[in-house]
């Protein structure tokens, strides 16, 4: 049984959305949404849950993560209740709710705290980087406070902690869905065929973004006549694939790189290609948020800007360093760029579960559960 929370609407608004009580459930958002074919209540049901104070029901809704935020519903809402903006705020609210430390809630609701935490983490990472050169004055000062072994093991402890936080967040999400989902998943164990089908569909959606493409197919949509390589789905795809490619290149480089051989060259080529992909996507995304071509881009949160700017800076400084290595330019400027690149890249990873970036974890899980509850495969 769902528990009513009278203050839920105000709480959601604190994550960056308008007063959605203007909605009178006309159903326009559901009718206009290209992704509501399989669920005739989305996104109107999410607004109703928020207005009625059904917090548990709201947070257990997979639809929060199935929306790609095209903004078509907000653009056509007769009451200007901003349903698309509301669902984006719900994602921030859900990320903060699932994360158990309360740090995300503070960052999303207090811009000053967001900036302060980011700067403190950057300073902390800077000091750790200085330990790479034991003869440096900063390193000697650090080692006077902490033994070398403690500094060396600190990174391991941090990643173990982040792994636990991520696991707890996923557990809270899955427990809520299991408890409140109307599909009664807990009463109908999925067979191997269903699990395989859901896995294939989830991977296919991640690779192709076919559902996101549906958002641009209405004849009167702004993006419908535009070239595919500048559409939002492709911009999102380029950022995602670019980041994943750079992550893979970094792992390969770490495992196989040997200064005496060229075995690491394929990873460098992979990093260059996928880095260009990420830069292309991030540049267009920033351009759209600055020029506001559609209603969706008229409202951007600090979390949006943090993610995009850090992604872009990580790519830009990465290419700067690639040029420096290619031309063997060991200068003070390039050393500073190296520190900036490393700090920004590590912040993206360390703050993954505490930022908008967390949707990269929750959305695939929601997609899998969405497909898992679809019709049984035909014999």
CA atoms 354, 360, 363, 364: torsion sign = negative
- Mean pLDDT value across residues 164-170: 96
Q: What is the mean pLDDT of the chain?
A: 86
User: Per-residue pLDDT tens for 19-48?
Assistant: 888 888 888 988 888 887 655 678 888 999
Residue 307 has pLDDT above 70, yes or no: yes
User: Per-residue pLDDT tens for 70-102?
Assistant: 888 888 889 888 899 999 999 999 999 999 999
pLDDT of residue 191: 82
Q: Supply angle C-alpha 253, 146, 353, rounded to 5.
A: 50
User: Per-residue pLDDT tens for 210-238?
Assistant: 999 988 777 667 888 899 999 999 999 99
How many angstroms separate the CA atoms of 126 and 105, rounded? Answer: 25
The first and second tokens of residue 39, run together, are 């669920």
pLDDT confidence band for 378 (50 / 70 / 90): very low
What are the CA-CA distances from residue 174 to residues 30, 59, 98, 166, 325 (Å)? 25, 10, 10, 12, 45
How many angstroms separate the CA atoms of 221 and 335, rounded? Answer: 47
Alpha-helix runs per DSSP H in the chain:
8-13, 28-32, 44-52, 55-59, 63-66, 72-76, 83-98, 103-109, 111-130, 137-145, 148-180, 192-208, 210-214, 232-256, 265-291, 302-326, 332-350, 359-372
Q: What is the largest CA-CA distance in the chain?
A: 70
CB 185 within 8 A of CB 177: yes
CATH number assigned to the domain with residue range 8-98, chosen from the 4 options 2.30.130.60, 1.20.1250.20, 1.10.2020.10, 1.10.1060.10:
1.10.1060.10
Q: What is the DSSP letter of 377?
A: P
pLDDT of residue 377: 44
How many angstroms separate the CA atoms of 242 and 364, rounded? Answer: 17
pLDDT of residue 227: 93
User: Per-residue pLDDT tens for 268-283?
Assistant: 889 999 999 999 999 9
What are the CA-CA distances from residue 40 to residues 31, 45, 51 (Å)? 8, 9, 19
Domain ranges of the chain: 8-98, 111-372
pLDDT confidence band for 185 (50 / 70 / 90): very low
Using a 10 angstrom Cβ sphere, with 0-12 exposed, 13-18 middle and 19 or more buried, the burial of residue 240 is middle
Residue 373 has pLDDT above 50, yes or no: yes
The first and second tokens of residue 296, run together, are 């969706």
Domain 111-372: which topology?
A: Fumarate Reductase Cytochrome B subunit (1.20.950)
């Amino acid at each position: 049984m769902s528990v009513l929370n009278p203050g839920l609407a105000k709480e959601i608004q604190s994550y960056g959305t308008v007063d959605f009580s203007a909605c009178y459930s006309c159903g326009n958002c559901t009718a206009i949404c290209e992704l509501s074919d399989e669920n005739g209540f989305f996104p109107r049901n999410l607004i109703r849950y928020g207005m009625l104070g059904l917090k548990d029901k709201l947070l257990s809704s997979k639809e929060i993560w199935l929306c790609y935020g095209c903004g078509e519903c907000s653009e056509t809402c007769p009451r200007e209740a901003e349903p698309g903006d509301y669902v984006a705020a719900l994602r921030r609210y859900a990320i903060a709710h699932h994360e158990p430390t309360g740090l995300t809630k503070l960052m999303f609701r207090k811009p000053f705290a967001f900036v302060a935490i980011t700067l403190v983490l950057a300073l902390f990472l800077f000091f750790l980087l200085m330990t790479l050169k034991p003869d440096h004055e900063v390193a000697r000062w650090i080692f006077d406070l902490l033994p070398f072994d403690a500094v060396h093991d600190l990174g391991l402890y941090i990643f173990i902690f982040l792994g636990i936080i991520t696991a707890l967040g996923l557990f809270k999400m899955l427990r809520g869905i299991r408890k409140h989902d109307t599909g009664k998943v807990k009463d109908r164990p999925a067979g191997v065929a269903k699990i395989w089908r859901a896995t294939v569909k989830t991977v296919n959606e991640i690779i192709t973004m076919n559902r996101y493409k549906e958002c641009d197919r209405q004849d009167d949509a702004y993006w419908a006549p535009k070239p595919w390589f500048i559409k939002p789905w492709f911009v999102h795809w380029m950022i995602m694939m670019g980041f994943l490619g750079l992550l893979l290149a970094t792992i390969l480089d770490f495992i196989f790189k040997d200064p005496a051989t060229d075995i690491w060259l394929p990873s460098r080529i992979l990093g260059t290609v996928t880095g260009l992909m990420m830069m292309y996507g991030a540049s267009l995304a920033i351009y759209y948020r600055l020029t506001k071509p559609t209603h969706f881009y008229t409202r951007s949160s600090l979390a949006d800007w943090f993610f995009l700017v850090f992604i872009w800076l990580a790519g830009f400084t990465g290419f700067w360093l690639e040029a420096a290595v290619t031309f063997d330019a060991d200068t003070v400027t390039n050393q500073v760029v190296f520190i900036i690149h490393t700090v920004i890249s590590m912040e993206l990873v360390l703050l993954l579960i505490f930022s908008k970036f967390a949707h990269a974890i929750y959305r695939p899980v929601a997609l899998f559960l969405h497909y898992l509850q679809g019709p049984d495969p035909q014999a």
